[in-house]
Amino acid sequence: MKPLAPLILSLTAALCGALTVPLNAQTGTHYASKILKQGQTLTDILPAGWTISGEARGDLNKDGIADCAFVLQPNDPANIIPQAFLPECPLNTNPNILCIYYGTKEGLLEQFAVYEGLIPADEEFIPNQFSKIEISPKGVLNITRAIEPSAGSYSTGRTTYRFRFQDNNFYLIGKEAYNLARNTGVSTVESSNYLTHKKATTYSNEFNEAYKPHTEWSKIPKAPLRTIAQAFEE
């Protein structure tokens, strides 16, 4: 087995600069209550100094009006803390807050839901896990979470969660999970469809061009669709 020390030092040094705008979402505090419920723009809605980490526009509830989903981060200095392994590169443990606002006929953005703490941000050796938010042309809300440890593990990956609005809530209808072993190059991509109850798993090796990728199909046991509040619990 290769020693972890070189990997730890190189990855930590590379990530140190990236930790200046990361997020955390496991505090369960009162920050969400500071976000206004209505406004013409995001500037109207958000407290001064807060950071928008990702934003998407599209019609989520099929009413023909553009909606807005975004992830933001408060700027509470009490949540900027030194990490034991690299104190000169502090952790930003301010929570990730996922917000969904519907557009109105009057041109306003009106709050539908605010979720604080679903997606972890900075942790020791694991930088902010929020990666990207998108709304597809069909109104599917896609949220990508990345797990890229800077030390302690060769494994890295990202997962995109796909949600559809129905019955006055957002439900997980699909998921795509990518995982890479950084020491061997072995990677897997699991594409799960919770509507058809099928999963495709593709195996490949990113370090070995001679390795021929192959896909295996399996069935997903039928179960009630999980809400957006439940989807990130695994």
pLDDT for 36-77, tens place per residue? 999 999 999 999 999 999 999 999 999 999 999 999 999 999
- Structural domain boundaries, residue 25: 5-31+38-231
Which stretches of 50-209 are assigned E, i.e. beta strand?
A: 51-58, 67-73, 80-81, 91-92, 97-103, 109-116, 130-135, 141-147, 155-166, 169-181, 186-193, 198-205
232 has a pLDDT exceeding 90 = no
Residue 1 pLDDT class (50, 70, 90 cuts): very low
Is the pTM of the predicted complex or chain greater than 0.85? no
Helices (H) and strands (E) in the chain, counts: 3, 14
* pLDDT digit string, tens, across residues 4-46: 433 333 343 333 333 222 222 233 458 989 999 999 999 999 9
Q: To the nearest whole number, what is the mean pLDDT of the chain?
A: 85
CB 53 within 8 A of CB 75: no
- Residue 12 pLDDT: 39
- Residue 187 pLDDT: 94
| Number of domains making up the chain | 1
* pLDDT digit string, tens, across residues 68-124: 999 999 999 999 988 877 778 888 889 999 999 999 999 999 999 999 988 888 887
- Residue 205 pLDDT: 93
Compute φ and ψ for 154, nearest 5 degrees.
Answer: -85, -15
* Angular region, 106: left φ>0, alpha ψ -120 to 50, beta rest: alpha
* 144's tokens: 């990508």
**What mean pLDDT comes out for the span 173-197?**
95
User: What whole-number distance in Å separates Cα of residue 203 and Cα of residue 186?
Assistant: 8
